[in-house]
Chains A and B, each alone.
Chain A
Amino acid sequence: MKYGHLIWVNLTRNKRRTILTALSVAAALFLFVALRSVNTTLNDAREVGSESRMVTRNAISIVFQLPEAYYGWLSSLPGVRRVTWGNWFHGIYRGNPRDFFASFGVDVDSYFEVYPELVVPEDQKQAFMRERTAAMVGTGLMERYGWRLGQTINLTSMIYSPVTEWPFTIRAVYTPLPGWTDEAFYFHYDYLSEMTEWAQPGWYVLQLDDSSHAATVAATIDEHYKNSRFATRTETERAFQTGMVSMYGNVGFLMNAVGLAVFFAILLVAANTMMMAARERTSEVAVLKTLGFSDRLLFGLVIAEAAAITLAGGLLGVFGAKLLFEGTGFQGAGFLPGFAVKMSTAGLGMLIALLLGLFSGLVPAWQAARLPVAHTLRRVV
């Protein structure tokens, strides 16, 4: 672009001012990208569950268990194809409560049938299913502790016994589904029930033939057990997940409010820069007009200059955030599994940078376009 040089020399007239403005745009967009990515990660967690899978748990709370005997009746229900269950183990490693991760005993055969999308190499899957004390571990957790396939490790359970060491041999490593944690630890429910007398299923997962029957199935189950000692609560897996994430409910609103406030603060910073820059140059604008530069062209040059500053800041902030979070594998200390800066978030950040440029350049660009030449030259010369 033949006016590129003109824009460039104007940008570099006051380098410090230009750089500071670009950096404040970068800082604001870094913040925006980080906050929005937290938001999209939480929203994705909500989408993880399936509509055709249902979760039946104790009606009082997830921390109470359900009888093993429910399995038979649940499996016999029309519309239910397969049932599996799991139990929360609350295992810790090295006896340190900080070395904590999601660990549960599952009914191995049925679990793989209900979750066919779990990515595990077939030979590892078979090895895991064969051995009573085998464990299947997420890639992230393997990395966190430097574990190897075939290694035997000991966990203690905060629920069953904080002193008994349970040996597990890692036989399989799974790759997480989108939005799933890569730090979970699966093992055989059978092993659990052999070691303790009072372990019972913590929840049942039901694979339905058809998700449109979800409401009827849930009503049938909960009605059936309503007056038993262990009343149930049944909902779709997605609703179950949503319940887990809904405590973040207002995070989204808060982030939007913060984002908006930052946007306007930065808009003022950038607009101020452009107005100062333009004011110093009024006589030059008048001279360019005597050379035949049109109002429209001068308007465009100011806007382009403003956009160059905010887009440079935007690139730095948006892709700086993306590279930083991806480079460090940021997961919010395990609370934000699958944390990622999406391309849509990066794109939105760049769009905001562009809008910042357009809006901040608007007033000085308009002034440059409308500048009365004769009057301006008289004032200066």
Chain B
Amino acid sequence: MALLEIRDLSKVYQRDAQRIPVFEGINLNIVAGEFLVLMGPSGSGKTTLLNLVAGLDEPTTGTIRVSGAEVTAMSRRDLAAWRSHHVGFIFQLYNLLPVLTAYQNIELPLLLTHLSKQDRREHVMTALEVVGLSDRADHYPRQLSGGQEQRVAIARAIVSDPTLILADEPTGDLDAQSAQDVLTLMQRLNDEYNKTILLVTHDQRAADRGHAIMHLDKGVLTG
């Protein structure tokens, strides 16, 4: 059974009388352990699709299931709880909280669990180790390079051990070397930790790291 199942998914914006479809009738299956890359021109709806999968936005029609749970049918409250367990989100601009240290940023998703302070510490330190930033735990985002910030963001995305990692152009703002480091890290998450990844990118070299590439263009998804 597929980990992620998208059926007849449509997102249509309505502006006055005008219908602005982003995409219509999209179908997609992702099995557990997959590393799928999604490419497509700007404005084709890649971010929209990720937001829908994470339950951050509502589709016009269609269903999304993750591990059998129907995301598109959940209440806002259930979605928040579900998201904290099942989805790790990585953004192009890292989106760390500037007033918190690397450690505290990574700890945020764990605050939602019943873990003790001590257990949270263990999880955070493990995540920091995975991304190779154990020595930067007490640094604030402004004291880190872009590549390091993104690795902290990745640590935050994996710290609660989610089923699915969604990455929206995670290397879009990084220099070549940092981008390679981040991609290598994501590949390791897939290989060693068996994380299922859906990566959106414009960068062909990034795309080559995945198992398969899908293209989204003019509302149509092709493999």
**Chain A residues proximal to chain B, CB less than 8 Å:** 2-3, 5-6, 9-10, 13, 283-284, 287-297, 373-374, 377-378, 381
Contact = CB atoms under 8 A, between A and B. Distances in A.
Nearest to B117: A2
Interface in B153-189: 156, 160
Interface stretch (B26-34, B78-86, B122-130, B193-201): B78-86
A245 B15 CA distance: 70
Given A9-B100, A13-B99, A373-B57, A292 B47 contact: no
A374 B91 CA distance: 12
B2 interface: no
- Chain B facing A: main interface SS: helix
B93 A289 contact: no
Contact of A293 (B48, B91, B100, B112): B112
B54 interface: yes
A289 B117 contact: no
Given A292-B83, A294-B81, A377-B56, 12 more contacts: A288-B108, A289-B80, A291-B83, A291-B108, A291-B109, A292-B82, A292-B112, A293-B108, A295-B80, A373-B57, A378-B47, A381-B95
Query: Which size bracket describes the interface of B in this complex?
Result: 20 to 34
A5 B120 CA distance: 15
Contacts of A291: 83-84, 89, 108-109, 112, 156
B92 A290 contact: no
A71 to B, nearest CB: 80
B108 A294 contact: no
Contacts of A283: 95
Contacts of B109: 291-292
Residue of B51, B54, B84, B111 most packed against chain A (CB within 10 A): B111
B19 interface: no
Interface string B103-120: 010001101100001000
Contacts of A6: 100, 108, 111
Contacts of B82: 292
Given A288-B108, A291-B84, A373 B51 contact: yes
B11 to A, nearest CB: 10
A379 to B, nearest CB: 12
A287 B156 CA distance: 12
Nearest to B111: A2
Contacts of B91: 287, 377, 381
Contact of A374 (B51, B85, B95, B111): B51
Contacts of A287: 91, 95, 97
A291 B89 CA distance: 7
Contact of A373 (B56, B100, B104): B56
**Leading 4 A-B pairs by shortest Cβ distance:** A292-B84, A374-B57, A294-B80, A9-B99
B44 to A, nearest CB: 14
A3 to B, nearest CB: 6
Interface in B67-96: 76-77, 80-85, 87, 89, 91-93, 95
Contacts of B87: 290, 292
Given A2-B117, A291-B156, A292-B85, A10 B80 contact: no
Given A292-B109, A295-B80, A374-B56, A381 B92 contact: yes
Nearest to B92: A381
Contacts of A10: 99
A295 B77 contact: yes
Contacts of A296: 77
A24 to B, nearest CB: 24
Contacts of A373: 51, 56-57
A297 B77 CA distance: 10
B77 to A, nearest CB: 6
A244 B124 CA distance: 71
Contact of A290 (B54, B111, B117): B54
Interface string B48-67: 10010010110000000000
A287 B153 CA distance: 11
Contacts of B76: 294-295
Nearest to B98: A284
A7 to B, nearest CB: 11
Nearest to A290: B89
A292 B76 CA distance: 10
A6 B111 CA distance: 10
Contacts of A13: 99
